[in-house]
Chains A and B, each alone.
Chain A
Amino acid sequence: MKKQLTWLIAAMMAVLIVGCANQKGPAEQAIAGAESTLSGMRDMAQKYVPDQLAAVDAQLASLKDAFAKGDYKAVLAGAPALTSAIGSLKEAASAKAAEAEAAMAKAKDAWASMSTDVPKMVAALQSRVDMLTKSHHLPSGVTKDTLASAKTGLDSIKSAWNDATTAASSGDFTGAMAKATAVKDQATAIMQSLHMSSG
Chain B
Amino acid sequence: MADEPTPTEQNPYTQTHVVAAGETLGKIAKQYYGDASLYTQIFEANRDVLKDPNKIFPGQKLRIP
Chain A: residues with CB nearer than 8 A to chain B? Answer: 119-128, 130-132, 134-140, 142, 158, 191, 196-199
Q: Are A139 and B12 in contact (CB under 8 A)?
A: no
Does B60 sit within 8 A of A, measured CB to CB? Answer: no
Contacts known (A126-B3, A128-B65); A134 close to B38, Cβ less than 8 A:
yes
The residues of A that contact B15 with a CB separation of less than 8 Å are 124, 128, 196-198
- Interface hub of A127, A130, A136, A139 (most chain B Cβ within 10 A): A127
Contacts known (A123-B2, A191-B13); A138 close to B38, Cβ less than 8 A:
no
Q: Are A123 and B37 in contact (CB under 8 A)?
A: no
The majority secondary structure among interface residues of chain B is: loop
A-B contact count (CB 8 A): 70
A132 to B31, CA, bound (A): 12
Tally B residues with Cβ within 8 Å of A. 21
Chain B: residues with CB nearer than 8 A to chain A? Answer: 1-5, 11-16, 30-35, 37-38, 41, 65
The residues of B that contact A127 with a CB separation of less than 8 Å are 3-5, 14, 65
The residues of B that contact A123 with a CB separation of less than 8 Å are 1-3, 5, 11, 13
Q: Smallest CB–CB gap between A145 and chain B, Å?
A: 15
- Give 24 pairs: A residue, B residue, CB < 8 Å, sorted on A: A120-B11, A120-B12, A122-B1, A123-B1, A123-B13, A124-B15, A125-B13, A126-B3, A127-B5, A130-B3, A131-B33, A131-B38, A131-B65, A134-B35, A134-B38, A135-B33, A138-B34, A139-B30, A139-B31, A191-B13, A196-B15, A198-B12, A198-B15, A199-B12
The majority secondary structure among interface residues of chain A is: helix
Q: Are A124 and B13 in contact (CB under 8 A)?
A: yes
- Interface hub of B3, B13, B38, B65 (most chain A Cβ within 10 A): B13
Q: Are B13 and A137 in contact (CB under 8 A)?
A: no
Question: Which residue of chain A is the closest to B15 with respect to CB atoms?
Answer: A196
Q: Are A137 and B11 in contact (CB under 8 A)?
A: no
The residues of A that contact B16 with a CB separation of less than 8 Å are 199
Contacts known (A127-B65, A131-B41, A131-B65); A121 close to B13, Cβ less than 8 A:
yes
Q: Smallest CB–CB gap between A144 and chain B, Å?
A: 11
The residues of A that contact B38 with a CB separation of less than 8 Å are 131, 134-135
Q: Smallest CB–CB gap between A113 and chain B, Å?
A: 12
The residues of B that contact A137 with a CB separation of less than 8 Å are 34-35
The residues of B that contact A119 with a CB separation of less than 8 Å are 1
